[in-house]
Amino acid sequence: MNDAVKLPPVGAVVDRDGPVVRTHYGTHGEVSHGPLPEGDLGALVARQVEAFARRDEPVVWPVYGDARLAGALLAAGFEAEPERTVLDCPIGTDATPLPGIGHDWAAHQRVAELAAETGPHRRPYAEFLADAAHLSWSSEVCLDGDRAAWLEEIGNAMVVGGVTDPGFAAALVARDWRLAGPHRGVRSLRAEATAALREAFEAAGMREVTTVTRYHLPSPGEPARTRPVRRLFSEPEHDEMWARFHEEFAFRPDTREFPGITEPPNSATWHVGDLGDAQLDALPDIVHKGLRESVVDGEELYWLDWHHAGYRFDPARVDGTGPRWPGFVFPDGDYHIYLTRDLRLGTFGHPWEETVCVFGDLLTRIDAELTAALGEPIRRSEP
């Protein structure tokens, strides 16, 4: 019953310790694993506790019917949630579509409201959204009136992350999820439930395969309230940043007419289309270092990618032991933009002119270093 995914969720770091997989979200951590070694598990558990403590992350460790592991976790100070039943059944044959919500942000907010009123769920909807699973080909979100469910493909199963109404269970079980999108390899539906929801799933044809208990351990210090990186696409915040950028910089996308923006005062633009390998490596290193030094404590940055998903992130918590730095400085095929929320500094990469414009206090910090690495800029705007 290993719930590990192939790629880390957005803003998370995945570490391995033998059979154990630790996912560090910045706000909390989760554990999954394959078969565990025989004998005393105390040392293995202690290593995981220490790893999460170094990051001040509270821990969630699901245990699937393993009394030996449960005892080791209790001995290490973990506390247990009530046990839940894990149910499974073959994929249904009903071709009737369930009402999906795609990128409808208002609908996602409605699902979040319904999720907050119910539960506990296998995956809280807030975490589901933070993982950007609603944008992924491997997930589904359904909203039918005041009933909602969210599911994700794990291995060869569609796994129910949460259901807000037992009355929705029968429709989920009957649905042929292979018709919902790219889930051609899916062979079963899996869910976790107790009480009325369990009864509803069993009445619809699901059968118990094991039990699961989630064990929790608080962090020794104050955990972070937000993840280091948040993916943005259909959120109003993403549209707002693009609208403000269009207005402030008179953004005019074009493959022939340059420059693509009205370059602001205190800016310089370098041609980057024919950089050598050493220069390509130096460009992001210099810009990332300058961005870190230019923002105030706790200030987040945005990376925008025209017609694609963007990111909001804390530059102090990426790279190193954190997730990788989001986005790219080099305009590889599309417009790439780093910005502060107030638009006072950042970079603008133009894919057709093959240039990067640096502006604001960021230019003041890295002008000399960029010029030494890339040569003189092709344009300058005076302060």
pLDDT at residue 227 greater than cutoff 90: yes
Please tell me the distance from the alpha carbon of residue 189 to that of residue 176, in angstroms, as a whole number.
10
- pLDDT score of 383: 82
Binned at pLDDT 50, 70 and 90, residue 355 comes out as very high
DSSP letters spanning 107-148:
HHHHHHHHHHTS---SS-HHHHHHTTGGGSTTEEEEEETTEE
**pLDDT number for residue 4:** 41
pTM of whole model > 0.85? yes
Supply the DSSP string of 18-36, one letter for each residue: TTEEEEE-SS-EEEEESSP
Residues of the chain with CATH 3.40.630.30: 86-209
Phi then psi for residue 381, to 5 deg, are -115, 130
- Torsion, Cα of 231, 237, 239, 242 (10° steps): -90
**What percentage of the chain has pLDDT greater than the value 70?**
97
- Choose the weakest-confidence range: 29-33, 84-88, 130-134, 323-327: 130-134
- For the residues 246-268, what does the mean pLDDT come to? 97
- What does the pLDDT look like over 205-224, one tens digit per residue? 999 999 999 999 999 999 99
**pLDDT above 70 (res 134):** no
Q: Which CATH number fits domain 86-209: 3.90.1140.10, 3.40.718.10, 3.30.200.20, 3.40.630.30?
A: 3.40.630.30
**What tens digit of pLDDT does each residue of 12-65 get?**
999 999 999 999 999 999 999 999 999 889 999 999 999 999 999 999 999 999
Give the pLDDT score at 5: 41
Predicted pLDDT at 183: 84
pLDDT interval class at 135 (50, 70, 90): low
Percent of the chain with pLDDT over 90: 87
pLDDT score recorded for residue 81: 96
Residues 264-270 have a mean pLDDT of: 97
The amino acid present at 286, given as its one-letter code, is I
Of 178-187, 279-288, 307-316, least confident by mean pLDDT is 178-187
Residue 239 pLDDT > 90: yes
pLDDT exceeds cutoff 50 at 3: no
